[in-house]
Amino acid sequence: MKNLMIKELKLVVSPSSYFFALCGALVLVPAYPYSIGMFYCLFSILITFGTARANNDHLFTAMLPVSRDHIVLAKHFDMIFPQMLTLLIAIPCAIISTQILNKSGNIVGMDANIAFFGLTLTAYGIFNIIFLPWYFKTGYKVGWPMAAGIAAFVFLWTVFEITIHSIPSLAGKIDSLDPSTVKYQLPVLLLGIIIYFGTLMISYRRSIRNFEKVSL
C-alpha cells in the first residue's frame, strides 16, 4: 500500500495541485470572496484524474498486485491531498489576514474565521461523496462526476453565503471576527470535520462497491 501511495504522489498527482493550493492564500486579499480560493483546488483534482485517464493509469494500476479496495483508497488520496494542502496554506494566511491585514473583516462574503473553515470542510465533503463513488462506476470517466461535484460545491457555498447574510443575528455570530463569537463558530468547525470524514468513509465504501462491478 505504501508503494502504491508513492506511485500516486509521484506519477499521478498533478504538479498543478501545488499551484492551485497556493490559492488558499487568497484569504489575504481584502474584499474578495474567500470561498473561491478554496474552490480552485477542485481544478487540480480534475487535472489529476483527467491526466490519469489519458495515460491509462486505471489499466496500469489494475495490473499491479494490489486489491481493488487499495486502488480506491489511493484515488481518495489523490482527491484529499490537494484539499488538505489548500487548507494548510489557507489557515496561517487566515490568521495573518484577520489579525493584521483585514481586522475589520471581509465585505465580500464570509470572513476567514473558524466557521469559514468548517463550511469549507462541509462543501469538500459533499463534493467527495458525489465525485468518487460516481467516478468508480467506470474507474476512468471523469467528466460528469466532476461536473456534479463542482456544481454541489458551488451550490452549497451559495446557500451558505445567502443564508448567513440574510439573517442578521446569524451573520453577527458566524460571519464575525469578534472573539466573543468563537463559541458559536467552533460547533460549525466541529460539524464540518465530522461531515468531511464521515462522507469520506461513505465515499470509500460506495466506491469499493461500485468498482467491484467494473470489468477492466
Inside any domain, residue 111: yes
Identity at 59, one-letter amino acid code: L
Inside any domain, residue 129: yes
Structural contact between residues 60 and 125, judged by C-beta atoms closer than 8 angstroms: no
Q: Which domain holds residue 111?
A: 2-211
Residue in the block written with cell 468498482 = 211
- Taking residue 71's Cβ as centre, other Cβ atoms within 10 Å add up to 22
Residue 208 pLDDT: 93
Domain count, the chain: 1
Residues making up the chain, counted from first to last: 216
Inside any domain, residue 88: yes
Inside any domain, residue 76: yes
Q: Which residues of the chain have pLDDT under 70?
A: 216
Inside any domain, residue 157: yes
Inside any domain, residue 57: yes
Residue 36 pLDDT: 94
Inside any domain, residue 175: yes
Closest Cα to residue 4, out of 84, 77, 54?
77
Residue 55 pLDDT: 86
Q: How many CA within 13 A on the CB side of residue 41? A: 33
Q: How many CA within 13 A on the CB side of residue 27? A: 31
Burial of 202 (0-12, 13-18, 19+ CB in 10 A): middle
- Reported as a single tens digit per residue, the pLDDT across 1-56 is 777 877 888 888 989 999 999 999 999 998 899 999 999 999 999 999 999 888 88
User: Alpha-carbon distance 120 to 192, whole Å?
Assistant: 7
Inside any domain, residue 216: no
21 Cβ neighbours under 8 A, 6+ residues apart: 41, 44, 82, 85, 86, 88, 89
Residue 210 pLDDT: 92
